[in-house]
Structure 1
Amino acid sequence: MDQAAKFAAFQALHTRDGAFVVANPWDAGSARLLAHLGFEALATTSAGYAFSVGRRDSFAGLSRTELLENARQIVAACDLPVSADLEDGFGPAPETCAETIRLAVEVGLVGGSIEDATGDSAAPIYDLSQAVERVHAAAEAARGLPFLLTARAENFLWDRPDLDDTIARLQAFAKAGADVLYAPGLPDLAAIRAVCAAVDKPVNVVMGLQGPRYSVAQLAAAGVRRISVGGSFARAAFGGLQRAAQEVLGAGTFSYAQEAMSGRDLTALMSEDRPPSRL
């Protein structure tokens, strides 16, 4: 499936009835597994990638170049639409956000998110006017390209639990050209329902983090169209590794291997491509 077909498929997922889950791989191998299991679309996770390379998930800790390279590898590893966590667009200027969108399309992505968080704990959220300008620049950059833009309102992740302001931001982002709206960290189903009722674009929510846990059916009934899992799949994998290692160190046993995927099954999922040189 080429990029245009992947984009069309990704768009269609947002317009059909109910909600779909977009899984979040952190590398090419996890992408192959998730695609094999039957997910219809994937999205990168900056947190999951950061953990896999031994770094913290932070604005200062991850560059645009390496995150887009990680995204390129995930795109190449499967035949599914892939969206990306593009953080704050990798800079405050609207022009930087626009360039990030263009580069994202070049690596084969068909979607991505821009958030209104600054990374500055003293002033963690962009003023509304600047946040809207940034989304507008990203939307203009995506115009005519096979790319679905998600705009994120980050209030609830930065100790600003203001639902009215969050809704106002999402409404403004929609008018600025965002295709999908996302407010991570909403406290409960009532807040999720309020957001969905207040906007005219598909809404994404994240599950698997700390906090409330709702089923796909419950979220769909509340009006949610897309559900992501953020870095929680990566954390689940690290949790499995931790439990296995603790068993070996603590009990001196190896029963963890009974629940591990077999080498044969993993080998069957992975690419047979060979490097041009072994040197």
Structure 2
Amino acid sequence: MKKFLYVVAAAGLTASLSSCLNDDEHYVDFKNVGAIAEIPSSAFYGIEDARSYLQVAAATDSFDVNIASPNMPSQNTDVTVAIDPAALTAYNTQNGTNYQILPASLYKLLTPTVTVRAGTRLAPVAFQLNTTTLKFTDNYAVPFVLKSATNGVTVSSNYGTKIIAIKLRNNYEGTYQATGQFVHPTAGTRAINRSKTLNSIDANTSQTEYADLGGSGFLMWLRVNADNTVTIIPRGSTPTTVQTGTNSYNPATRTFTLSYQYAGAGGNRVITETIRRVN
């Protein structure tokens, strides 16, 4: 009896799916959809592309334009790109942000027209930035907009805008591997072996996780002094911290060596860790 019911259910499901697939009202023949020029990581969902740069006179960067189509493009397509302040105004209004457009003297669109070659889908849009006069507290962005495309390709109305937020980064920003130990006065010693990210605060200061307690809101700023000693500044929920032993930065190996502690019930929690850059 159960076997019979399974057969009936499967048959019904097959009929239902067949009916849906052939329902003219809801059927979409994707073979007849035209080609669309788009920016894969567009600003449509209210997400800007935050990128960080060192203070340099000419930082060259890029993003991709994509030709979306049922079949691989069989001919070259030229796509025109522009920087449009109105797009940034609209983005700010829609998302509650307050980005200012980067002054025109500080950016250059190197490829206002890009060619997506036949047999491919992507082409890079290149631009150049001058970040020498920027400050770490600036809130600049550059709004890129697809304007037109050749050979009957339609520019996407939803995915044709890209907002790139321009932030400064210092020489210490990046991904690191932390190793060491956390000595608890009553719970004993546990190993620290985890990936950490350092984010820029200013030219000499970066923020990262405190010991292995980032999940508890414990953060710290690491300030590299002129003699490569390091000052630890508690942030977030981190309690008062006392530096002990060696706290320094080695620029040759891009490694922080830290020794610090904080007080708690039962005694001090003592942390020693080495944070080495991996990218």
Q: TM-score range by the shorter chain?
A: under 0.3
Instruction: Give TM-score scaled by structure 2 length.
Output: 0.24
More helix by percentage: 1
Find the structure with the greater CA-based Rg: 2
Structure with more contact order per residue of length (Cα contacts < 8 Å, sep ≥ 6)? 1
More strand by percentage: 2
Instruction: Give TM-score scaled by structure 1 length.
Output: 0.24
